[in-house]
Amino acid sequence: MNDSLTQVLINYGPFIFLFAAGWFFGSRHERQHLAQLTVAEQALGDITVSSERFYRPELAIGSEGALVLGSVVIAQDYFKMIIARVLSLFGKNLTTYETLLDRARREAIVRMRTQAKAKGYTHIYGVRLEVTNINQLGSMVEAIAYGTAVISTDHIPIVSATHTSPARVPSALPSIS
């Protein structure tokens, strides 16, 4: 009895250990990434993003549109790939793949917004998302978000008398009193 239990642990123990470690570390990494995305989305919340094709914000004087884009490649961990394969045998929803696509889309939009903010833009419209599989297993996806960024008069910061340092106001705009 004791000998057969030892034999089972020797044969299957490493597989079970690696499977459990993959689940633990992969889930932890995914939760950390989702938390980082939430923080970044809140920090970039002042930049309006619209996927409408003919959305026309009130443009500031001298504002010109510019292409901004964000791209990311995200891979799935091996544990989730195995779970997805097993679930696909039973016709279940591939929630692990859906999570991968969601993370890729959100990260691409955050990177696009970061680029727009670095250039001083306040609106991005005509946003498009492209997502594609990179390998045949479906464990890696690339997401690209792109759109037209502009400076809108809706978001011109107003400098109040209580602020000691004035907010950045583009020089082409009339001064606000």
- Residue 89 maps to which CATH number? 3.30.110.70
Residue 105 in domain? yes
Q: Is residue 166 part of a domain?
A: no
Tens digit of each residue's pLDDT, the chain (177 residues): 567 888 888 888 888 888 788 788 888 888 999 999 999 999 998 888 888 877 677 777 777 889 999 999 988 777 777 777 777 788 777 777 788 889 999 999 999 999 999 999 988 988 999 998 887 766 788 999 999 998 877 654 433 333 333 333 333 433 343
Question: What pLDDT does 50 receive?
Answer: 85
Structural domain contains residue 172: no
Residues in the chain: 177
What is the structure's pLDDT at 27?
Answer: 82
Looking from the CA of 126 toward its CB, the CA atoms found within 13 Å total: 13
Question: What residues have CB less than 8 Å from 9, skipping those under 6 apart?
Answer: none
Could you tell me if residue 177 is inside a domain?
A: no
- The whole-model pTM stands at 0.73
Model pLDDT, residue 65: 85
Domain for residue 127, yes or no? yes
pLDDT at position 68 is 96
Q: Is 58 inside any structural domain?
A: yes
100-116 in b/e burial notation, b at 16+ Cβ within 10 A? Answer: beebbbbbbbbbbbbbb
Number of domains making up the chain: 1
| Residue 175 belongs to a domain | no
- Quick one: which of 143, 140, 141 has its CA closest to 107? 143
Q: Answer yes or no: is 164 within a domain.
A: no
pLDDT of 138 reads 64
- Look at residue 137 in the predicted model and tell me its pLDDT: 67
Domain of 48, in residue numbers: 2-155
